[in-house]
């Protein structure tokens, strides 16, 4: 009896590709664990930060579309009115308060490169598997670090995703809308509610002198009813300032109920306060994560996906491109998100 012919769906170098694909999940979990915000926004485990409720809460996948589009209601519909009686004329004014925000996809790439020399030195399947696994981890580590850093930077590299610092502001044109033209499309900072966007400030100063009061104002200005920040991200030094300002009972009270106990016990109004190596010095980012706040949109099919291996042009190499296409967006610049800057001891 004849044996049916096998059709291989994996046509590129099998040992390379099989090893690369085998280590993806374990490497990703390891790579994304070192920075809590990177883990939250890119959908990986939080590692030593634990928990499941915040994992991937800021990640969303969009199927198709030339850009990321957001529908934002920037004003109140004026068609509602009290009637003088059953025969009074009702309003026929349409609701014209929706605006379409747009963010272009950002393209990022890494390269898993294996040379013929590598194949010769790493003889045998076990040696090659170890080598490819190490190389795959290196590519993913670089990608995660760069994307995580870009999320919070104050000086974005060319062609990078839009940073939280740019999105959470009270000036400039963001996602296609000019802040000066739309008063309800700007973060509030620590200025009084109703302050014109051009006059709003985010600057704090000495934490010992005004840190906690400014945190209260920043949090309140980010809150609108039940819409509140879900995580507060700070650099390690500001984390120490905050911890030093708290009494033990304040620091640990209610920790079991904070983000599923996933962030130790540092919280402000039950919102976890976590230290990130990527948060700029002197910053405190109060972030509402998810589809009504800060979010990373990823184009379906390009979520850290490796392309098939191909031979290098005029080189003794084979290359598999790591492809990532996405964008950081802020669905609401006024409610849920805010920040403090210039925090010192």
Q: ∠ CA 220-226-232 to the nearest 5 degrees?
A: 55
Rg (CA), the chain: 24
Instruction: Give the pair of three-digit tokens for residue 246.
Output: 């708290």
Question: What percent of the chain shows pLDDT beyond 70?
Answer: 81
Helices (H), 32-124: 36-42, 116-121
89-106 mean pLDDT: 89
**Which stretch of 59-73, 78-92, 262-276 has the lowest confidence by average pLDDT?**
262-276
Instruction: Give the pair of three-digit tokens for residue 222.
Output: 């980010």
pTM attached to this predicted model: 0.82
pLDDT higher at 306 or 48 = 306
Separation CA 89–CA 105 (nearest Å):
47
Q: What is the pLDDT of residues 109-152, one digit of tens each?
A: 999 998 888 888 878 777 877 788 878 878 887 888 899 899 99
Instruction: For the chain, give every domain's residue range.
Output: 14-66+101-340
Helix-, strand-, coil-residue percentages of the chain, each rounded to 5: 30, 25, 45
Q: What is the distance in angstroms between the CA of the first residue and the CA of the last residue of the chain? A: 81
Give pLDDT, residue 3.
Answer: 57
Question: What percent of the chain shows pLDDT beyond 90?
Answer: 50
């Amino acid at each position: 009896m004849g044996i049916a012919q096998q059709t291989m769906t994996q046509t590129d170098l099998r040992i390379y590709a099989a090893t690369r694909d085998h280590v993806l999940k374990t490497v990703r979990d390891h790579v994304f664990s070192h920075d809590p915000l990177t883990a939250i926004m890119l959908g990986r485990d939080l590692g030593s930060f634990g928990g499941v409720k915040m994992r991937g809460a800021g990640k969303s996948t969009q199927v198709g579309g030339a850009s990321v589009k957001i529908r934002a209601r920037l004003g109140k519909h004026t068609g509602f009115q009290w009637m003088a009686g059953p025969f009074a004329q009702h309003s026929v004014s349409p609701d014209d308060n929706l605006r379409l925000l747009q963010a272009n996809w950002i393209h990022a790439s890494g390269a898993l490169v294996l040379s013929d020399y590598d194949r010769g030195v790493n003889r045998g399947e076990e040696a090659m598997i170890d080598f490819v696994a190490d190389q795959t981890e290196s590519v993913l580590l670089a990608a995660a670090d760069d994307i995580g850093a870009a999320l919070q930077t104050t000086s974005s590299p060319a062609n990078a995703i839009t940073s939280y610092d740019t999105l959470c502001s009270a000036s400039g044109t963001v996602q296609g809308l000019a802040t000066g033209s739309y008063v309800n499309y700007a973060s509030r900072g620590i200025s009084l509610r109703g302050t014109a966007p051009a006059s709003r400030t985010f600057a704090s100063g000495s934490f010992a002198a005004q840190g906690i009061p400014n945190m209260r104002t920043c949090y309140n200005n980010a809150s609108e009813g039940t819409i509140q920040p879900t995580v507060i991200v700070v650099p390690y030094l500001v984390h120490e300032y905050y911890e030093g300002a708290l009494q033990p009972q304040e620091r640990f009270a209610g920790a079991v109920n904070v983000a599923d106990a996933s962030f130790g016990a540092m919280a402000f109004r039950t919102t976890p306060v976590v230290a990130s190596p990527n948060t700029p010095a002197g910053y405190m980012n109060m972030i509402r994560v998810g589809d009504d706040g800060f979010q990373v949109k990823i184009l379906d099919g390009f979520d850290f996906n490796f392309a098939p291996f191909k031979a290098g042009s005029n080189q003794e190499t084979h290359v598999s491109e790591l492809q990532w296409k996405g964008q950081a967006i802020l669905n609401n610049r006024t409610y849920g998100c805010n920040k403090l800057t210039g925090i010192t001891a």
